[in-house]
């Protein structure tokens, strides 16, 4: 019985740490979508990009940049500078960051592929990177 109590305590502690994030709130990107469908010529805003400390203050020295590591031809990605509110992390004030936008240009035939993006941050404590995978369905213009 005592062994079960110890195991339950350890599991509860690990769950609490994983749910609370260990006290770190330096999330950098909030995607509202992971699967995207675009017609030729369309753009979609994927989410807010930011880098903050635990007290909701930005630690960015410049607007983050995005690069496509893998993806379909004719699709571009950009981060447009903007003030964003990291509400998902309990912050109420806007911080410097940007909006991640992907654009489909001149799509000739239907395709479905995964796009791998790397976000590069210049922060007060050095350069940081994060990657995201986006599933994209592409359609030619009618």
Question: What is the CATH number for 69?
Answer: 2.60.40.60
pLDDT of residue 24: 40
Using CA atoms, how far apart are residues 8 and 5, in angstroms rounded to an integer? 5
The domain total for the chain is: 1
Q: Let me know if residue 122 belongs to a domain.
A: yes
Residue 105 neighbours by CB under 8 Å, 6+ apart: 40, 41, 74, 75, 76
pLDDT of residue 86: 87
Q: Let me know if residue 42 belongs to a domain.
A: yes
Residue 93 neighbours by CB under 8 Å, 6+ apart: 56, 85
pLDDT of residue 114: 93
Q: 125 lies in which domain range? A: 25-139
> For 19-49, what is each residue's pLDDT tens digit?
333 334 455 555 555 899 999 999 999 989 9
Q: Let me know if residue 41 belongs to a domain.
A: yes
Q: Let me know if residue 1 belongs to a domain.
A: no
Above pLDDT 90, what percent of the chain? 62
pTM flag (> 0.85): no
């Amino acid at each position: 019985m005592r062994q079960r109590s110890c195991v339950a305590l350890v599991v509860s502690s690990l769950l609490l740490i994983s749910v609370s994030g260990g006290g770190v709130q330096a999330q950098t990107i909030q995607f509202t979508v992971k699967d995207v469908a675009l017609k030729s010529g369309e753009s979609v805003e994927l989410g807010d990009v930011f880098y903050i400390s635990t007290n909701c203050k930005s630690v960015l020295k410049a607007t983050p940049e995005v690069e496509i590591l893998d993806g379909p031809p004719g699709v571009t990605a950009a981060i447009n500078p903007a003030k964003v509110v990291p509400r998902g992390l309990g912050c109420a004030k806007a911080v410097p960051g940007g909006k991640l936008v992907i654009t489909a240009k001149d799509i000739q035939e239907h395709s479905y592929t995964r796009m791998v993006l790397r976000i590069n941050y210049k922060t007060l404590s050095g350069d940081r990177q994060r990657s995201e995978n986006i599933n994209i369905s592409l359609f030619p213009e009618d």
